[in-house]
Each structure stands twice: as C-alpha cells, then as structure tokens.
Amino acid sequence: MAESRAAIRYAKAILSLASDQKLADVVNNDMQLIAVTISDNEDLNEALNSAVIQTESKKNILLQVFPDLNEATKKLIDVLVTNKRINILGQVATKYSQLFDELNGKQVAKVTTAIPMTSDLEAKVLAKLKELTNKSVVLESIVDESILGGFILQVGDKQYNASIANKLNKLKREFTLN
C-alpha cells in the first residue's frame, strides 16, 4: 500500500513536470513501454526488486533495456535510484498512464467475456459507456472462458459482474448458508 501511494506521488510529479515542458505525450509513450515491459518480463521485474543487485546496476540495466527514453523519463529513473525506490518504477509507469488518460478525458474500460465480442456488440458497449461516463472510452476486451457466459465490466474503480460463474457462486453460497 505504501508503495502504491509513493507510485502515485512520483507519477503525479513526473506528469506535472512533463506537462510543464509540453512532453506529457512523449513521456506517456515511455511509461506505457516501461509498464508493459516490466509486467511482461519476469527477469527484469525480479532484478528491480532484488536486494542483492546494486541500485546503480539496476539503473544501467534499465538504460540498456530502454535506450531511447526521453530525458524527463531518465531523470525519473535517476530520482527513483537516488531515493532507493527503483523497484516501484512499473507501478509509477502504470499510474502515470492512468493519470495522463484522466487528464485528457479518456477512460479505459475492461470487458471480460467468455467468447470474443463481435464488432457490432463492441460498438454498442462503447456507445453506452461514452453516454454513461461522458468521456472518451478505450475498450479493452478480455476473453476468459472460466466466467462461462455473461460479462464483467470494469470502468475505473467500479465493476459490474454479470457473469454466469458469479451468479452460480451466489446460488452456491445461498444454499450452503441454509
């Protein structure tokens, strides 16, 4: 939890700096790349969280993995290294992208379905979400067969679970309580 709060603070600071320098878009591209790379690469994530690896070595690893970063992003890495917080870089990058989207009136909605959504259904969902949120919505579609049917919609910190698996679990709980 403390790391999450620190990640938000660093993300807000770098967003403010990048906005002042009119580099928010460029830094957002860096942050998206960093967030995806760290979450997809287990070795890099372990290296950043390792107590054995020196912080200067972690910085060198990051600069080799991301050679084309903007100067503002490199300065963020320097600050995180100096403050011995380089292990939260992935969280900072994710929070930055979320704050950047909020600042630009964009919202990410995740829709989980048991089977892939048709383009017609996706268009209807996008239209409804835009109507409900009054923001530009980017739809992220996830296929998860374990929900059996229905859908799970997550917009910001709100979630609506209309999956068959959820309904079956509710019934199961009702029967086991009685």
Domain architecture of the chain: domains with CATH? 2-102 (1.10.520.20), 106-177 (no CATH)
For residue 133 the two structure tokens come to: 């949120």
Residues 6+ positions from 137 with CB-CB distance below 8 Å: 106, 107, 108, 109, 126, 129, 130, 155
Angle, vertex CA 95, rays to CA 166 and CA 100, nearest 5: 110
Mean pLDDT of 20-46: 94
For residue 79 the two structure tokens come to: 């600050």
- Res 2: pLDDT: 55
**Is residue 49 over pLDDT 80?**
yes
Provide the whole-model pTM. 0.70
**Is residue 35 over pLDDT 60?**
yes
* Confidence grade of residue 124 (pLDDT, cut at 50, 70, 90): confident
Alpha carbon of 110 to those of 43, 86, 137, 152: distances in Å? 27, 29, 10, 8
Task: Label residue 142 exposed, middle or buried (CB < 10 Å: 0-12, 13-18, 19+).
Answer: middle
